[in-house]
Structures are given as C-alpha cells and as structure tokens.
Amino acid sequence: MGRLLNILKGIYSVILLLVSVVLVQGLIFNQQTKLSSEVHPVFAFFALWGSVGCLTMIEGGQGSLVGLAPVNRELYKESHRIAYKCSIVAHNGDRLDRYLLGRQFMVVLVVFIVNMAGAPLKDADFWGLPSWIKTSFLTSGIAMILFTCMVGQLNSQVNASHHMLDYLNNWVGLFTLYVANLIEFSGLLHASYLLQLIVGNLAGTPIESYEDPRTWLESFFFWFRCLVSFAILGLCTSVTMIALFNDQTTVWEGIPPGVSVVIFLFLMCVVGMLEGMQIAFFAAAKVATYERGEGIFARKTCALLYFGENNNLPGFMVGRQLCVVSCMFFIARVTSVDLEEDEENIFGVPDSIQQVFNTGLLGAFVLTILGSISWQLVASAFPLAFIQNPLTYFLLRICLALEATGICQAAWVLASIHKKIAGFERDEVYIGTAEERAKQEMADDAAQLPLGAGHMIKLPGFSEAALKELLQKDPSIAQYIKKVLEDMKFENDEDDEDDDDDTQGCTEI
C-alpha cells in the first residue's frame, strides 16, 4: 500500500511539475516576466535555465564538499581528479566555512534571478487561461516554487547524498566553488564575521580557527572589508525599507505599506528559523543530555524527528526546502523596487544606480545576512534555544505536512533520470566503506569537519538509507540520536507510559 501511494504521489507531482514548467515558459515567451519584457524572451529563457542549472551544482556541491570533508582525498586522487581539485580548494584551514558563506549568497542571488526571469508580472495574462489556473499557479507563485525547488535543488541533493564523488567531479562544480570563494573574498558578506564574533562572545566560546593568526596587513584588510560590508548592508536595508514604506515595490496590489513591512520581516524570521533549525539539530550532538533542559517543546521536537519506522529528519529536509524557496520568492516579490515614471529615484541616485535598486538584489543581500547567515550563526552557538523554541516544533510540523503531500515527489524521479544519464556510482564503489578505509589506514578524520559556535555546517541526509550511512560515518550524529533515545526512555519510565512506538524508528536506525 505504501509503495502504491508513493507511485501515485510521484505521478501527480510530475504532472504538477510539467504544468509549472509549461506555464513558466509561456510567461517568458509572451513577455509576461520582468526580464522577458524589459530585455528579450530569449535572454530570459537562458537566464532562467542557466540559473537553475547553476543552482543544481551549488546545492549538490555543498552536500558533496561537506560529506567528503572527513575523507582522505588521496583515495580518489586518480579516479576523480576534478573532485580532488575541489577538495584541495575547500578542505584546508577555514576554507570550508568561507565557501559556505559565499555559497549562501549564491543561492539567494540565483533564486532572485530566477524570480526576475520567470515570475509573472502584475496582471499577467496569456493563452486565455482560466482565472483559477492563473491564481493557483501564477499569482500564488506555486509554479515557480515547484520548478525551482524540484529541478534546481532537491533532485541534486538526493543524488549528491549518495554519489558525492561523481557529482562533484566536473568543471562546473569547480567553477561554482571558485565563485563562492570569490564572493567571500570580495568582502560583501564580511558583516557576517562581525555577527560571528558577537555570537561567539555571547556564547562564551571563542571561534576556533584552523589557520595561523593573521598578520597586521591581513587584519587590516579583513577589518576594512567588514566595515565596507556593514556599510553596504546598511544601505541595502535603508533602500529596501524606504521602498516598502513608500509602496514602491512589486508587492501585490491592495496591500498597505505597513503590512508589506510586516510580511517582509515575518518571512525573514521564518527563513531564519528554518535555516537555524538544521544547524541546531546537528549542533545538539555536542550537548550533554542533562544540559538540554526540561522544555516540553524540546522533548516534543526530538520525539517527532525520530518517530516511527521511517525517520522524519529527511522528511523535514524536503519540506524545509519547499518552505525556504517559497519565502525567498515572496521576499523577492515584496522587496523588488518598482518606481512609477514620475517618481523620484530613491536618495536621488542616478538612473543607472536606480536600475540596480530595481533588480531586487539589495533585498537578496539583506536576506542573505540578516535572514539566513545570522540565524545559522546564532543556532550554532545556542542550539538549545532553537530546539526548545515552540516555533521550531510548529515549523517542523508544517515541513513534515508539506513533505507528506508528496508535492515534491517528482524530485526523486528527476534524480533517478539524472543518475542514469550521468552514470553515477555510489561512493563506496571508489573509496570503500568507512570501515574498509580504516583498515587501509586511511580512516576518516572527523576533525576536518568544523562544528560548534560560528560554523554553518548543516545536517545532511535526504533518505533513510543516507541517514543510516551517516550514522556509521559520523559518531557525533549517532551519539546525538542515542542521547535522544535515552531521554525518551527516561521520560517513559518516569511517567510509566507505553510510548515504545515513538522510539522504534530510532532504535532500528
């Protein structure tokens, strides 16, 4: 029965995806999107598919680089030369942290570009579509959300969780790695390092570095970039808020400016919570059982995550991805500046600069630092505050409910097709299991994966099998789940309740 249900979910999810793709292409070639109307439909078409293709590599590349961090790179030096080059770039010193910082902005930037290329204009109309189709797929943004989430993100994450070496072993993967590092080096996001230091001090935990102390010249260059980044963040926030309060954005008609500001701040908080939850779930592995507190929502969250025969953590990952992408598209709609012809430019800037404001990229910058990175840093330092937060449990329920609908089931179909076309093989074919590597005196080095306050390492795993493999490879996660089980067992003994089913799935894993 469960297999039949999954097949039915896959069928209707594929149908929804195909309808979404067709409608998005129809918008573009009927010049009903921002880029297609202002530049050219062909440009918008290639911008859309190019951005989504880049997004697949960014998402899959992150999973591959994080997963391969503890593995001795000499094991795949000859079989996967490009993946080996990627490892040299990303797995030395603090480079993985720097890559993750730049990569975070790349994701938000790509989603905003996709929004400009494929999202409908106000009152978009073509092919004489019925109003209910336009409302359901276009006005709501569901077509763009499903297209971006399944084609650009989930299917690549599914494949990258099992085929890290093959997925990373291409020049596009190396290119996106260099671009992410270049973004970080530019200093655009260096305001995040100020937040990192503040969070570390508040947590009473100094930020650990795997590199030698900076020279005076390196320190000057670092703090100069922090200052410039902070100034840019202030400018972007000011422009965004002025546009919102003056009703100068592409937000839906009829929404008052004050409500637009509330929507913007609310969606920023939701994205931040969803980003921080992954970090908190992983960071809690380092916290002793008795230190987690007696919060009811902490216990309920842990019980829900590890409930039943099928672990709910991968389900949360899928539902979370759908929620984050939805919020990003809504924020892009709310923050994209749209001035009337007779309106004066914001701050009286020249038209060329105002055109940059109009792209919505300023909102992407604000979202990256204040709505994403900062929350991840806070969660890395204060995981208990997230786990014990009632909103965490509420969002977890929403994510699991979204995944249970099967609306993203087509991502697994796409992943299977991509796997067959690309000829992906599991990593064990090339480098063996963790136990086999240990016997060859090439054991994994968990110290290569930086964790704790100030580090944005997220918990991977998009299938039950992948999670089981992860438990074998990473003792920290196994220890975390063991502690959760001990807590739940203690509560059951104390309350004399028969809740054995709540821990069955965890015990089997």
Residue 288: per-residue pLDDT: 52
pLDDT band for 85, please (50, 70, 90 cuts): very high
Amino acid at 235: L
Encode pLDDT of 36-45 as tens digits: 998 999 999 9
Residues pairing with 249 in the sheet? 337
Q: What residues contact residue 28 under an 8 Å CB cut-off, 6+ apart?
A: 36, 41, 44, 45, 48, 117, 118
Phi, psi for residue 120 in degrees, rounded to 5: -70, 150
> Residues 163-167: what's their mean pLDDT?
90
Q: What is the mean pLDDT of residues 19-27?
A: 93
Name the most confidently modeled range: 249-258, 390-399, 457-466: 390-399
Percentage of the chain beyond pLDDT 70 is 82
Structure tokens at 30: 């009927």
Could you tell me which of 85, 63, 70, 59 has the C-alpha nearest to residue 450? 70
**What's the CA gap between 412 and 409, in Å, rounded?**
6
The CB-side HSE value for 477 (13 A sphere, CA atoms) comes to 24
Residue-wise pLDDT tens digits, 385-420:
788 888 988 998 998 898 888 888 888 889 889 999
Confidence class of residue 283 from pLDDT cuts 50, 70 and 90? low
- d(CA 339, CA 159) in angstroms, rounded, equals 43
Domain that residue 218 falls in: 2-508
Number of domains in the chain: 1
Distance CA 434, CA 443 (A): 7
Q: Which residues pair with 337 in a beta bridge?
A: 249
pLDDT for 448 equals 66
Half-sphere exposure (CA, 13 Å, Cβ side) for 107? 27
Give 460 or 138, the one with higher predicted confidence.
138
Q: Is this prediction's pTM over 0.85? A: no
Categorize the per-residue pLDDT at 482 as very low, low, confident or very high, splitting at 50, 70 and 90: low
Rounded to 5°, the CA angle 399-404-410 comes to 100
Residue 310: predicted pLDDT: 45
First to last CA, the chain: 23
